[in-house]
């Protein structure tokens, strides 16, 4: 060990309490940084996985749009010198189905970006519950495609998705909706569509996605039953859910599909813009608070190094009188702050990991709204590397100013008193 590092070691050991306090400041700063960012990233990952569990990467459908520039009145007075103004125009009758749905699905299956598709017939319905009608929506689907795309099997409270294929007029119902209707597995439910069609279905399964806005309204029937509800033939498809190999490419792929087929294509990020915004706000808040903690720890090191230098003025003067240069003094005191920072960072990383691991084992309060067993925590190596890097840079910056001050001390002035 060089003489400079040996002197730095002696200074650290002589002021054990100061060294320990400075190291603990860095330790708790790094630990809280790792705990907070691991928890927040875990929450964001849980929210994103929950979104993807019921939202397709790309949703292709026929959007309702009417061109109000033309009307019956303009056709009637065509060519006459009159000004036509139509108040409260009504849209023309529009079919919501996708034209040539079979051709679109064949093209999507050949797309190398597409992992799977699920055609769907979606409609609003009213469930008859005695004298009360409860609104909801029904998705007529190919249950095998739907179950594979959204992992419905893992979300079943009772029954199996495949029960739709074996039951005559079967229905899979959200657990929240089933609770509203007071129905269980095997019960019959009566429902009506907006066009007046009345049908009865037998409950063959209950699912829970973990989002009350879905579990309280959504149900699944077979594609044929959905088409029967709307009084349509087997070629009638209103929506196509698309799963990509890389859901990060959902935005450009949605734009490409919209141009290719001429229908509205929403990617999962656009469909959940509010949740993505919430994630961004949480991430920003986490980084701001975490960096603030680390900076506060850096100021603690600065204060302690300043006190150490002030207490070691005579020692510095004696060292300089014996031939030590300013860079030697800089090395002595700067190495102390770096040692405090690295040791504090390593112990903070360990403490942060233990706290994050302990949090990941804490049971989440049971409820009917979120399907979560434990608090979500993410263990990302990048967080620990960033903590170690910050634990090195912050003490280095905090100790640099006092060390430069020590290197410039005139030993004659100090020795004279």
Report the distance separating Cα 347 and Cα 343, nearest Å.
Answer: 6
pLDDT of residue 204 exceeding 80:
yes
Residue 87: which pLDDT band, with cuts at 50, 70 and 90?
Answer: confident
Residue 40: which pLDDT band, with cuts at 50, 70 and 90?
Answer: confident
Pairing of β 218-222 and β 170-174: antiparallel
Report the distance separating Cα 410 and Cα 8, nearest Å.
Answer: 20
Planar angle of CA 38, 43, 46, nearest 5 degrees: 120
Report the distance separating Cα 55 and Cα 268, nearest Å.
Answer: 6
pLDDT of residue 211 exceeding 80:
no
pLDDT of residue 42 exceeding 60:
yes
Mean pLDDT of 114-130: 88
In the 8-state DSSP scheme, what is residue 81?
A: S
User: Among 92-106, 197-211, 250-264, 342-356, which stretch is predicted with the lowest mean pLDDT?
Assistant: 92-106
Cβ-contact 189, 201 below 8 angstroms:
yes
Q: Compute CA distances 136 → 53, 177, 223, 274, whole Å.
A: 20, 8, 17, 23
pLDDT of residue 77 exceeding 80:
no
Q: What is the pLDDT of residue 165?
A: 86
**Higher pLDDT pick, 394 / 244:** 244
Residue 172: which pLDDT band, with cuts at 50, 70 and 90?
Answer: very high
Cβ-contact 21, 355 below 8 angstroms:
no
User: Among 9-18, 64-73, 380-389, which stretch is predicted with the lowest mean pLDDT?
Assistant: 64-73
What angle in degrees, to the nearest 10, is found between the helix axes of 16-54 and 326-360?
A: 40
pLDDT tens for each residue of 268-324: 877 777 767 777 787 788 778 777 777 776 676 677 767 766 766 777 777 777 777
Mean pLDDT of 115-121: 90
Mean pLDDT of 247-258: 87
User: Among 15-19, 44-48, 152-156, 174-178, which stretch is predicted with the lowest mean pLDDT?
Assistant: 15-19
With a threshold of 0.75, does the pTM exceed it? no
Cβ-contact 231, 154 below 8 angstroms:
no
Residue 82: which pLDDT band, with cuts at 50, 70 and 90?
Answer: confident
Report the distance separating Cα 195 and Cα 180, nearest Å.
Answer: 24
pLDDT of residue 70 exceeding 70:
no
**Taking all residues of the chain, what is their mean pLDDT, rounded to a whole number?**
81
pLDDT of residue 91 exceeding 90:
no
What angle in degrees, to the nearest 10, is found between the helix axes of 326-360 and 381-407?
A: 150
Using the CB atoms, write b or e for 137-156: b if 16+ within 10 Å: ebbbbbbebbbbbbebeebb
Planar angle of CA 7, 11, 17, nearest 5 degrees: 160
In the 8-state DSSP scheme, what is residue 363?
A: B
Mean pLDDT of 212-225: 88
**Higher pLDDT pick, 1 / 163:** 163
Cβ-contact 135, 191 below 8 angstroms:
no
Q: Compute CA distances 382 → 37, 38, 221, 290, 378, whole Å.
A: 11, 11, 45, 15, 11
User: Among 51-60, 196-205, 352-361, which stretch is predicted with the lowest mean pLDDT?
Assistant: 51-60
Residue 201: which pLDDT band, with cuts at 50, 70 and 90?
Answer: very high
Report the distance separating Cα 201 and Cα 226, nearest Å.
Answer: 11
- Which residues does 186 contact at the CB level (< 8 Å), separation at least 6? 202, 203, 204
CA dihedral 135, 136, 140, 146 (to 10 degrees): -170
Task: Return the residue matching tokens 């959204």.
Answer: 150
Report the distance separating Cα 229 and Cα 50, nearest Å.
Answer: 29
**Higher pLDDT pick, 71 / 238:** 238
Mean pLDDT of 326-350: 81
Percentage of the residues of the chain whose pLDDT score is greater than 70: 89
pLDDT of residue 35 exceeding 70:
yes
User: Among 20-29, 216-225, 358-367, 394-403, which stretch is predicted with the lowest mean pLDDT?
Assistant: 394-403
Cβ-contact 73, 86 below 8 angstroms:
yes
pLDDT tens for each residue of 344-383: 888 888 999 999 999 989 887 766 556 678 888 888 888 8
Q: Compute CA distances 415 → 214, 316, 317, 320, 333, whole Å.
A: 79, 10, 7, 11, 20
pLDDT of residue 103 exceeding 80:
yes
Residue 212: which pLDDT band, with cuts at 50, 70 and 90?
Answer: confident
Report the distance separating Cα 319 and Cα 165, nearest Å.
Answer: 88
Percentage of the residues of the chain whose pLDDT score is greater than 90: 7
Domain boundaries, the chain: 3-53+275-416, 56-63+95-268
- Which residues does 132 contact at the CB level (< 8 Å), separation at least 6? none
**Higher pLDDT pick, 240 / 76:** 240
Concatenating the DSSP letter of every residue in 49-80 gives HHHHHHS-SEEEE------TT--HHHHHTTTS
């Amino acid at each position: 060990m060089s003489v400079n590092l040996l002197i730095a070691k002696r200074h650290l050991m002589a002021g054990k309490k100061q060294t320990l306090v400075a190291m603990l400041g860095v330790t708790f700063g790094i630990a809280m940084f790792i705990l907070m960012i691991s928890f927040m990233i875990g929450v964001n990952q849980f929210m994103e996985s929950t979104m993807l569990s019921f939202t397709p990467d790309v949703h292709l459908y026929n959007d309702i749009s009417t061109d109000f520039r033309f009307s019956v009145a303009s056709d009637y007075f065509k060519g006459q010198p009159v000004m036509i103004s139509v108040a409260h125009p009504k849209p023309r009758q529009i079919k919501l189905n996708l034209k040539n749905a079979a051709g679109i699905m064949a093209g999507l299956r050949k797309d190398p970006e597409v992992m799977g598709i699920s055609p769907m017939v979606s409609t609003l319905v009213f469930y008859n519950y005695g004298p009360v009608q409860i609104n909801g929506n029904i998705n007529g689907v190919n249950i095998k495609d739907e179950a594979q795309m959204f992992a419905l099997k893992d979300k079943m409270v009772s029954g199996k998705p495949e029960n739709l294929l074996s039951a005559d007029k079967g229905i899979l119902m959200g657990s929240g909706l089933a609770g509203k209707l007071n129905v269980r597995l095997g019960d019959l439910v009566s429902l009506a569509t907006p066009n007046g069609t009345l049908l009865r279905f037998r409950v063959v399964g209950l699912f829970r996605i973990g989002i009350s806005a879905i579990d309280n309204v959504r149900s699944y029937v077979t594609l044929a039953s959905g088409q029967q509800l709307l009084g349509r033939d087997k070629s009638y498809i209103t929506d196509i859910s698309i799963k990509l190999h890389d859901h990060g490419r959902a935005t450009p792929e949605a734009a490409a599909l919209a141009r290719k087929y001429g229908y509205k294509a929403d990617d999962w990020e656009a469909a959940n813009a509010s949740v993505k915004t919430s994630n961004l706000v949480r991430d920003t808040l986490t980084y701001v608070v975490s960096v603030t903690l680390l900076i506060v720890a850096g100021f603690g090191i600065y204060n302690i190094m300043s006190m150490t230098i002030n207490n070691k003025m005579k020692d510095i003067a004696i060292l300089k009188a014996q031939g030590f240069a300013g860079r030697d003094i800089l090395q002595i005191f700067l190495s102390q702050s770096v040692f405090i920072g690295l040791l504090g960072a390593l112990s903070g990383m360990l403490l942060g990991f233990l706290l994050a691991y302990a949090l990941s084992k804490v049971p989440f309060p049971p409820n009917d709204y979120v399907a979560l067993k434990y608090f979500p925590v993410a263990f990302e190596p990048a967080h620990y590397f960033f903590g170690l890097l910050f634990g090195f840079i912050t003490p280095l910056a905090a100790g640099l100013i006092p060390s430069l001050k020590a290197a410039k001390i005139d030993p004659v002035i100090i020795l004279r008193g």
